[in-house]
A = this chain, B = another copy of it.
Amino acid sequence: MSTATAESRPYHHGDLSRALIDAARKILETDGPAALSLRAVAREAGVSPAAPYHHFKDKAELLEAVAHEGWHELDAALSKARGATQNARDQMTNIGVAYVCFARDNPALYRVMYDRSRDKDALPDQLKDDGAYCQVRDSIGANSGGRATEIDLELATIAAWCAGHGLAEMISFKQFAPLKDLLGGEEAFLRAVFEHLGMFAKVIDQDPA
């Protein structure tokens, strides 16, 4: 969102890695994941098709970098949602809604993030260490009143993550339009689903409405 892509072009670019990632994200937003070829990225950045190979060993490695940015931004979005609420149940619902909204607002990026994971058969390590997943677990932990075992905490986090990701994908399939209208908009719909999950029932302090 910052670097320019076409001006003097003095053979040595300066920061081509950065420019390539930006170019990739621009293509992603403009033309979708299907148009994201390495050659197209190079074209967009104004360099030859072989240039990227001096900065990424692979197309996969470039996509990895793009995905990495995506995870960081998702992390930030969840942080913000978490900070905005204190009440335990609401906080969890808000984090869930924030997750799904991120996926809805950045569909191409979200897809790249998970496509990379599908290709590797693994989510990024960063997730477990200090990323968005950790964000969710901490929030559950902080609201569990100390009654939760380590295992229960982990299970609740997994359940929440799976529900969030599953819902994010279903939303992108545009499956639930009639229901959304019935419930008065998408966010109301999301809240209703998360409420319905009865999520965290075993772990969170029970002060149900």
Q: Which residues of A contact B (CB under 8 A)?
A: 34, 111, 114, 117-119, 121-123, 151-152, 154-156, 158-159, 161-167, 169-170, 172-176, 179, 182-183, 192-193, 195-203
B175 contacts A122, CB within 8 Å?
Answer: yes
Whole-angstrom distance between the Cβ of A131 and the nearest chain B Cβ: 13
In the complex, the chain B residue whose C-beta lies closest to that of A176 is: B158
Q: Which residues of B lie under 8 Å from residue A176 when comparing CB positions?
A: 158
B170 contacts A161, CB within 8 Å?
Answer: yes
Q: Which residues of B lie under 8 Å from residue A154 when comparing CB positions?
A: 179
Q: Which residues of B lie under 8 Å from residue A172 when comparing CB positions?
A: 118, 121
Looking at A111, A158, A169, the one whose CB has the most chain B CB atoms below 10 A away is A158
A193 contacts B121, CB within 8 Å?
Answer: no
A193 contacts B159, CB within 8 Å?
Answer: yes
B170 contacts A162, CB within 8 Å?
Answer: yes
B122 contacts A111, CB within 8 Å?
Answer: no
Instruction: List, sorted by A's number, 12 A–B pairs whose CB atoms are closer than 8 Å.
Output: A117-B173, A122-B173, A123-B173, A123-B175, A155-B179, A159-B163, A162-B170, A163-B163, A165-B165, A165-B166, A166-B166, A196-B202
Q: Which residues of B lie under 8 Å from residue A183 when comparing CB positions?
A: 151
Looking at A170, A183, A195, the one whose CB has the most chain B CB atoms below 10 A away is A170
In the complex, the chain B residue whose C-beta lies closest to that of A165 is: B166
A118-B111, A201-B198 are known contacts. Are A158 and B174 too (CB-CB below 8 A)?
no
- C-alpha spacing A172/B120, complex, angstroms: 10
